[in-house]
Amino acid sequence: NAGVMQNPRHLVRRRGQEARLRCSPMKGHSHVYWYRQLPEEGLKFMVYLQKENIIDESGMPKERFSAEFPKEGPSILRIQQVVRGDSAAYFCASSPRGLDGGTDTQYFGPGTRLTVL
């Protein structure tokens, strides 16, 4: 049973370009979460999606960032017009159900390390 898959593992972009990060959840998982991690810091929640729905985007910057989880295919985190401050590791996690007090937990992918030159 493959775990959460993310690609690319490393992504280099110049300022002003677009970055697209992909996440394929574990088989049977319909809930996806994106987190950002700066060096020597913990993970900061960005967005929570179910298939075709954004459930909670309270951690997403208001501009340039968007996320989707289509009916078919991976979840995509899209960053438009990247700036140096966007350089970070972006992690995706998945769970079979929402973490609403149940016994499900999130399983993380290996991350995409974005470097903006």
Partner 1 sequence: GQQLNQSPQSMFIQEGEDVSMNCTSSSIFNTWLWYKQDPGEGPVLLIALYKAGELTSNGRLTAQFGITRKDSFLNISASIPSDVGIYFCAGVTNTNAGKSTFGDGTTLTVKP
Give the nearest distance from C-beta 104 to partner 1 in angstroms.
Answer: 9
Find the binder of partner 1 among 42, 63, 72, 85 (CB under 8 A): 42
Query: Token pair 């775990």 is at which residue?
Result: 3
Integer-rounded Cα Rg, in Å, for the chain is: 14
Report the residue count for the chain.
117
- Using CB under 8 A, which of 1, 2, 28, 58 touches partner 1? 58
With respect to partner 1, which residue has the nearer C-beta, 8 or 16?
A: 8
Q: What phi and psi values does residue 86 have, to the nearest 5 degrees?
A: -80, -10
**Interacting residue with partner 1 among 33, 82, 86, 116 (CB under 8 A):** 33
If one asks whether residue 1 binds partner 1 (CB under 8 A), the answer comes out as no
DSSP 17: -
Q: Which of 30, 38, 25 is nearest to 92 (CA)?
A: 25
Residues near partner 1 (CB under 8 A) are: 4, 6, 31, 33, 35, 40-45, 48, 55-56, 58-59, 91, 93, 95, 98-101, 103, 105-111, 113
